[in-house]
Amino acid sequence: MKKVVKFGGSSLASAEQFQKVGKIITAEEARCYVVPSAPGKRHSNDTKVTDMLYQAYALAEADKPFDKEIDAIKLRYQEIIDGLKLKLTLDKEFDEIKDNFKKKAGSDYAASRGEFLNGIIMANYLGYEFIDAAEVIFFDEEGEFLPDKTNEVLSAKLVKCPKAVIPGFYGAKLDGSVKTFSRGGSDVTGSIVAKAAKVDVYENWTDVSGFLIADPRIIHNPKGIDTITYRELRELAYMGASVLHEDAIFPVRQSGIPINIRNTNAPQDKGTWIVESTCQKSKYVITGIAGKKGFCSINIEKDMMNSEVGFGRKVLQAFEENNISFEHVPSGIDTMTVFVHQSEFAEKEQSVLAAIHKAVQPDSIDLESDLALIAVVGRGMRQTRGTAGRIFSALAHANVNVKMIDQGSSELNIIIGVKNDDFEATIKAIYDIFVEIQL
């Protein structure tokens, strides 16, 4: 048995948290590869180290003094080193960081140093080998991740290292310049390392005990999810569920490696298992609910549009030409509705409408703004009749007007469109009918 363990910023924010992490890692011999994030917030009014690095680099880029900011970052790390009673100094690394800031090495370089320095401390604390992610994770000149080259180099390296720490969040372009993943990218690094090391499990440790069925800011003390499939997670992550970076699914999915979301502050909790497929039945008909506000709809009407070949392509081309991606396209015999992000559409709306008129000569176009999309996801819906009907019934009882409902052919998810003002009420009504009442 071999495991990759990734720890988030809140799990490594202080020496006390480091000690918890150390106990977790050494509790199982299988936990052989560690992917740390940069130190997060120690308390609600604190600042993440990554944000401190961004601030310092912004001053450097503007040719303003930044020594004070670097000293504050150095102090954060020194507190961890002293708290762990390590004989370690980061003077050389900070001198190099200052020098590269003056040379304007880039904001990606600046942001990556949080993980880099935490990786050095973690390796020293555990007695593991330190592997700089810039030497084993690669991006092309445009900043696109290179999975094949990365897997080849990283696999060869890990074969020779039975225990190692690989910092999360960054790698390097082929010219050696540092490139980061998007925010939260340490999850992706953990997945990449898991695939390269051919481990049995990827444990992702954070400050919650796995996924919850709904957002705890909306539902008081929502139930947890024991097991979720990659496909279900992908749907929920896309619609705003944010325990795990959505791109972290792909490397392990290709290799059939399960992910276990765990809580550093409650290691006894089993957390959530993310798997390719499972014969385990969901406790509830639905697995989870997630959603986002800030959409608008463009409703296009034209008699006999269903018999006009290429109608949909021409309409969507109007959005493509204006660099706007669409979310959902429900349609009827003589109507087609396109849902898009309102913020993307607002400045280009007249250009898009003109392009639609030119392309398909519609009878009318209506716009509606301030909409929310909510995904109800669950493998259990396939075997359960009347799921959509129960949703309609629950929303009618909650006085919510449904603007759109769209169910994919996989029967894995149902997307519901409502007004922004009805967002919270919609999630509460759906949660109550499927989880609390379980009719």
* Model pLDDT for residues 8-65, shown as the tens digit of each residue: 999 999 999 999 999 999 999 999 999 999 999 999 999 999 999 999 999 999 999 9
Query: 417 in helix, strand or coil?
Result: strand
- At 365-376, the pLDDT tens digits run 999 999 999 999
pLDDT category at 410 given cuts 50, 70, 90 is low
Going along the chain from its start, the domains and CATH numbers come out as 3-275 (3.40.1160.10), 288-436 (3.30.2130.10)
pLDDT at 409: 63
**Contacts of residue 257, Cβ cutoff 8 Å, sequence gap at least 6:** 194, 195, 199, 200, 201, 202
pLDDT for residue 208: 86
Q: Mean pLDDT throughout 235-254? A: 79
User: Is-contact 295 415, C-beta < 8 A?
Assistant: no
pLDDT exceeds cutoff 60 at 439: no
- Please give the angle made by the CA atoms of 404, 407 and 411, to the nearest 5 degrees: 160
pLDDT band of 438, cuts 50, 70, 90 = low
- 331 band by pLDDT with thresholds 50, 70 and 90: confident
Q: What is the DSSP string of 307-362?
A: GSTTHHHHHHHHHHHTT--EEE--B-SSEEEEEEEHHHHGGGHHHHHHHHHHHH--
Mean pLDDT, the chain, whole residue set? 92
Enter the pTM of the model. 0.84
Report the share of the chain in percent with pLDDT over 70.
Answer: 98
**pLDDT tens for each residue of 182-220:** 877 889 999 999 999 999 999 999 888 888 999 989 999
Q: What is the pLDDT of residues 282-325, one digit of tens each?
A: 788 899 999 999 999 999 999 988 888 999 999 999 999 999 99
Q: In the predicted model, what is the mean pLDDT of residues 431-436?
A: 92
